Structure 1
Amino acid sequence: MYEGLQERAVDLLQTTASSDIIYNALRDEIISGRIQPGERIRQENIAGIFNVSRIPVREALKRLEAQGLVQNKRYKGCVVVPISPRDLEEIYEIRATLEPLVIEKSIENMTSETLEEARKLCDEFSSEIDSTRWGERNRSFHETLYRDADRPYHLKVIDEAIDRVDAYLRAQLLLTNGMERAEKEHVGILQACADRDGKLAAQRTRDHILGSYHALVDYFKHHQKN
């Protein structure tokens, strides 16, 4: 347990940003699925790994709780929050509403540098078989295409929504060969951006998100049966 945190641990006694570092490390472990839904996060263990008091650990956990990633339960402490079908539906409603809007706005200001960076990320998908690294590149690809929108609040909501489903999405992509489908859809989205066709990019982004949602719903149903 906490192997990923051990790799990233440093002595934070003299670090003023210790809470930020712990927050980012825990967030990465949760959204990657290495710390699983329902699993308890023990403050004393995290404090020991990073050689700090429990204060910055508590601060980090409060931030994660505000994002909906963890929850404090009586007699049990802090646990990673499982996702319900209703949560999943609401999260994807948010994504399917905001992300098409953001990419359409982004195309209005999209630079050649942004397109080139997105192309490189798109090319990397085809050779990546590790679901964790693939998931990281997937997020980077979409974030790159959205960043010229000048919509920081929209992007914050999108980022937090994806955090809630990322671990499940990576598992579904790996176990259902969903990466191949997603890669083809990424190419279509990128081409629409290169053609400066905001409406088409928005539609393809929405279709991509809804396709991901339906694949996740099917994955959950199959997972629950087994």
Structure 2
Amino acid sequence: MAQRQSGGAGGGTGGGAPEGSAITGRASFDEVVSRLSSGYRSIGDMVYEVLRQALLSGAFAPGEHLRQEALATAIGVSRLPVRAALLRLDAEGLVEFHPRRGAVVKTLTAEQLVEIYELRDLLETHALRKSMKTMTADRIASLRRNAELLDSEEEGEGFLDVRVRFYRELYDAERNPRLVELIEDLRSSVGRYLLGWRVSGSRSHHGRHTTLVDHVERGDVEKAETALHDHLREVSEGVAKILSGESDREPDSEFPA
């Protein structure tokens, strides 16, 4: 982890993205630059962290070409640390760096999507079974409160916050921290491709969370697992349509994956 010091790096942010660049109009990237462009020991660490956070937060679209010169101007540094950062991000699997063509934001293939949701199904049904063995009345009450919020709330930042609380409680993150961490990592590996999208007229969360809590409260492991499995299958099919361009979903807020 980079040690921080007071003061900026590279002479400030250099303003927003230059007109005509690959990042024109992406206010979220400017926000990341503004938030992270000062306080790092080295310019290289700062540039790497800015680009990494921008990628993880969806500031760049999958398949988007990242122009080193435009990025350097937006951050307020030379091209050298940008190139070095992109090479690091290539090693992490966030971008694909081509010596002659530059860097491109990595996309999610159909095969990778299938693998991710197969792993999620295995891990989440295991977590559910394990958690139900030690379920308490207090946890059921907490789950029901959050389930009712999820089933009545539109997608967006508030929805995502409640969803995190719900699933951490459902899978008993206190007793199973590593298991829940793995599940959340898999969810995030897909979620960053879906920033800005929602499901129009989807039945993906209307009543689903409350029904799942009903099964859990009754101790019906089979029905609880089936409900969870069906949800993950539905979500994976919806995500596949979004990534293939076959969906009629419109940009608005985040898909409840």
Q: Per-residue deviation at 1:209?
A: 0.5
Corresponding residue number in structure 1 for 2:166: 141
In structure 1, how many angstroms separate the alpha carbons of the residues matched to 2:90 and 2:133?
A: 34
Q: Which residue number corresponds to residue 7 of structure 1?
A: 31
CA contact (8 A) 2:215 2:223 kept: yes
Match of 2:225 among 178, 182, 202: 202
Instruction: Calculate the TM-score normalised by the size of structure 1.
Output: 0.70
Query: Which of residues 224, 238, 246 is equivalent to 1:215?
Result: 238
* Percent identity of equivalent pairs: 20
1-structure distance, mates of 2:188, 2:246: 20
- SS of 1:188's equivalent? helix
Q: Is 1:81 matched up with 2:114? A: no
CA deviations on 1:43-86 (whole Å, 9 max, x unpaired) are: 666566666787599568736752x4322233233322122222
CA distance, structure 1, for counterparts of residue 77 and residue 144 of structure 2: 42
* SS of alignment partner, residue 14 of structure 1: strand
Larger Rg: 2
Report the alpha carbon displacement of residue 28 of structure 1 after superposing the two structures with TM: 4.0
Instruction: Give the CA deviation at 1:208.
Output: 1.2
Q: Relative to structure 2, which stretch is displaced further, 154-163 or 9-18?
A: 9-18
CA contact (8 A) 2:215 2:224 kept: yes
How far, CA to CA, are the matches of 1:47 and 1:135 in structure 2?
32
CA distance in 2, matches of 1:134, 1:20: 30
Q: Give the match's secondary structure for 1:83.
A: coil
RMSD: 4.0
Matched, 1:166 2:179: no
| Larger mean Cα displacement after TM superposition, 207-216 or 119-128 | 119-128
Q: Identify if the C-alpha distance between structure 1 residues 20 and 37 changes in structure 2 by more than 3 Å, giving closer, same or farther.
A: closer
Residue 100 of structure 1, CA deviation: 0.7
CA contact (8 A) 2:155 2:198 kept: no
What letter corresponds to residue 188 of structure 2 in structure 1? D
Normalised by the length of structure 2, the TM-score is 0.63
Q: Does 1:26 align with 2:54?
A: yes
Residues 146 and 166, structure 2, Cα contact 8 Å, conserved in 1 = yes
- Contact map agreement 1:12 1:52 (CA 8 A) in 2: no
Contact 1:102 1:151 in 2 (8 A): no
Q: 1:21 to 1:169 in 2, by over 3 A?
A: closer
Gaps of 5+ in 1: none
The structure that is helix-richer by fraction is 1
**Partner of 1:82: helix, strand, or coil?**
coil
Q: Secondary structure at the match of 1:223?
A: coil
SS state of the match for residue 235, structure 2?
Answer: helix
1:1-226 maps to which residues of 2 (within 5 A)? 1=23, 2-8=26-32, 9-10=34-35, 12-15=37-40, 22=50, 25-30=53-58, 34-42=59-67, 62=88, 65-66=91-92, 68-110=93-135, 114-131=139-156, 133-135=158-160, 137-146=162-171, 147-150=173-176, 152=178, 154-167=179-192, 173-175=198-200, 177-178=201-202, 180-219=203-242, 223=246
Q: Take 1:6 and 1:118, find their aligned partners in 2: how far apart are those partners?
A: 37
Preserved contact between residue 90 and residue 97 of structure 2 (Cα < 8 Å): no
Corresponding letter in the other structure for 1:91: I
Higher relative contact order (CA 8 A, sep 6+): 1
Unpaired runs of 5+ residues, structure 2, are 1-22, 249-257
TM-aligned CA deviation for residue 162 of structure 1: 1.9
